[in-house]
Structure 1
Amino acid sequence: MYALKFELKLNNKEQTYLRGCAGYKRFVWNFALELLKASWQFEGVSASDAKRLKEIKKVFNNYLKTLPEYSWMNDYPSTIYQSVFQDLGKALTNCREGRANIPVRKEKKKGDSFTVYRTSGTYLEKGQPPLPFSNRQVLQPGKKITLPGLGTYRLKEKIPFICSSQTFTVTRVADKWFVSFNIDAEKIPPIIHLVATATGIDLGVKTFATVVNSTGDYKDVEITAPKPMNQAKTKLGKLQYHNRNKQLGNRNLGVKASKRAKRFYAKLARQHRHIANQRSCFLHKTTFDLAFVYAHLRIEDLNVVGMIANHKLSSCISDLGFYEFRRQLTYKCEWYGSKLEIVDRWYPSSKQCALCDTKNNELTLSDREFWCINPNCAFHHERIDRDKHAAYNLSVAPDEYVRLAKSEDMPVDKKEPTPLEEPAR
């Protein structure tokens, strides 16, 4: 199973309707979240988050939707608000288990998205599951797509083959709209890779990735981040600086944004989208090349959360997308038949000598070359590139430090469980 994403080609009427759907989703999310937080203040209530959301959903259906001032909700598919309660439940679960922070209110200017799905199907008997694929939306090849409850929309690219899906997510990035969905299909892996032996990948800030083969039979590869990304960030900073004195609006103070401020927000969103597209393009091309060429890859289990805590490196690490690189490389290695292994983060790949295994604790982050402190080692009098040395150590790491990478292992780092604001039981 993998996902497809297409850009929608909309007219003004269709854009207005989709904005309304996104506003409906945003309203339900904020309503449910406020009631949920209010329920935590009652000491006599002892129920799980799932039971609380179930009762909030009943209040929404049986009371709020019946009020005349909320009759506009009937213009939009009911699957939108149903998916909101599902998403909020998942967000609370991730928060409880330490994978995310407490859910927050959704704002209009930070992007729109909503999910619809097909509920109807063919049932042989009441209470039995539907027939296979009868509850899925069949998509024909071409530049049109039919979304459950929304109608048919034009696409800017063709759907390459006939497929089907049950759930569709519509998102807005700046002034562009996209639809994404999953299909049940498998990628066909290539039969032969160009490099069969173990290869280590060391990630860094100055050089994004250093690729070194364990046998030394293949040329070392250094992958640098694209320079246009830095230029786009500079343009973003200038845009923010030149508009620093505009009346941008403040909902808490009751100040409305000016027309120039609204144009600024639109231009700012387009610039952010441009930077995100550059990063995404670079990561997709890099991970594809690595998974397609190398049959056996090894990367380090980096503590991304801890690295971002360093204020001197946090911006660079966030821009490069270490987490996204590993996520894409993991599933693409599964697609193309490559083997990806994760080396334990406590393995001293940077400080341990590749020849005599002596550990150089004097090495710091500012040192870009490695030298061995053992006077009898050949690297004692010879300095080598630190990133290449670390990549080679990853490729020859002992088996006790290595484990197989799997898609279900994500995310890389797990935060401490977040305490929610609720009374003790």
Structure 2
Amino acid sequence: MILSKKIRLKPTPEQETLLWKSVGTARFIYNWTLNQQDINYSSGGKFLSDNVLRKELTQLKKGELIWLNEVSNNVAKQAVKDACNSFKRFFKGQSKFPRYKSRKRSKPSFYNDTSKLKIKVGQVLIEKIGWIQTSEQVSMDCKYTNPRVSYDGKYWYLSVGVEQIFEEVELKDFSLGIDVGIKDLAICSDGSIFKNINKTRTVKKLEKRLRRLQRKVSRKYENNKEGNRFAKTCNIIKIEKQIRLLHRRLTNIRKNHLHQTTSAIVKTKPSRIVMEDLNVSGMMKNKHLSKAIAQQGLYEFGRQIQYKCEKYGIEFIEADRWYPSSKTCSSCGSIKKDLKLSDRKYICHCGFELDRDLNASINLSRYQLAM
């Protein structure tokens, strides 16, 4: 099984300048590829393959875009391939139409060729940048896949796929249903409840500080307005950096909570795990709940459960989207059609009473067993 490993890099100031050059090149070539595809489509041509565009790029590097030779050749080639793949995913209905990468908003990252990636104790070799120190040791003498260097607003990281072999784990003979929500992150059929990290004091305190900084920078922009444009002062740049770091910290707290929760669930070692097939993009259209759903990271939660089940050899089942897990009584099996979202307790005509989410998780644990 191939699992991704993320290692922090510690570049020198000279190396960091070269890293930013590679990031800028990857973004420029990605946008150039999208533009070439748009021009070709508007003139009635067919989809251009990445091989055709790579050949055109090679000719441009000898003339107009000679500055591309300052960075690794593989950075530009992979950027072309990534842009073409984004079009292919769009044609298959797997994603939205590709958008141009913004210098301000896009994630700074670039590809490093697998064959050129060299590892030694405490260091890693990035092509045309040199040996960079790492905060921890990268796995040696193994096959690497898709190495990417990225910047998260504070540190540089190397993300690389490493093939790992896991021993078979002895599983227990029971089925575990998981009902995810906003009040709590996950409610399992065995009675375990995993809290919503966004309701903790730490996260609320950080979000309060974030709101204050956002209001502060907004006022400074208004006070420094020059006609139709906004002047960016040194104080504005300083506050915007604080905002970026706060966003980074909140993201890391939420991701860490998701990993801890999913690991705790799979380590109970059930023979099968059943989850709902949630329409997250549809749920996000609800303006009253969209922010809470986005902060919960329900899609990421499902993705992590799925690959960790594969890691431990647990059978993962995604229940049908229209399966009435919340409306079905886990005692007598009758369906309560008039159940409202505000009804937090399930009360059946047979006299059975249980928490709504726990009742749903019990029903999910029995999904397909009687079929």
Q: Report the TM-score, using the length of structure 2 for normalisation.
A: 0.90
Find runs of 4+ consecutive structure 1 residues off by over 6 angstroms.
253-256
Unpaired segments of 5 or more residues in structure 2? none
The total of aligned residue pairs comes to 362
1:61-95 CA-partner distances (Å, limit 9, x unpaired): 2136413xx43221101100000111001111111
- Residue aligned with 1:345, SS: coil
Alignment RMSD: 2.4
Amino acid at match of 1:300: E
Counterpart contact for 2:11–2:133, Cα < 8 Å: yes
Counterpart contact for 1:113–1:172, Cα < 8 Å: yes
Q: 1:392 to 1:167 in 2, by over 3 A?
A: closer
Give the distance between the partners of 1:356 and 1:167, measured in 2 at CA: 51
1:392 aligns with 2:366: no
Residue 310 of structure 1 corresponds to which residue in structure 2?
286
Give the distance between the partners of 1:88 and 1:180, measured in 2 at CA: 20
Q: 1:400 to 1:237 in 2, by over 3 A?
A: farther
Residue 243 of structure 2 corresponds to which residue in structure 1?
268
Q: How does 1:19-418 map to 2 (within 5 A)?
A: 19-42=20-43, 45-50=44-49, 53-63=50-60, 65-67=62-64, 70-110=65-105, 111-118=107-114, 135=115, 137-140=117-120, 142-159=121-138, 161-165=140-144, 167-189=146-168, 191-193=169-171, 195-213=172-190, 220-226=191-197, 227=200, 228-247=202-221, 257-295=232-270, 296-372=272-348, 374=349, 377-379=350-352, 383-399=353-369
Counterpart contact for 1:36–1:56, Cα < 8 Å: no
Unpaired segments of 5 or more residues in structure 1? 119-134, 214-219, 402-425
Residue 129 of structure 1 corresponds to which residue in structure 2?
none
- Residue aligned with 1:146, SS: strand
Counterpart contact for 2:217–2:239, Cα < 8 Å: yes
- Residue aligned with 1:240, SS: helix
Q: Report the TM-score, using the length of structure 1 for normalisation.
A: 0.79
Using the aligned pairs only, state the percent identity.
Answer: 26
Q: 1:208 to 1:342 in 2, by over 3 A?
A: same
Deviation of residue 334 (structure 1)?
Answer: 1.2
Q: 1:262 to 1:106 in 2, by over 3 A?
A: farther
- Residue aligned with 2:219, SS: coil
Give the distance between the partners of 2:73 and 2:230, measured in 1 at CA: 33
Give the distance between the partners of 2:122 and 2:62, measured in 1 at CA: 36
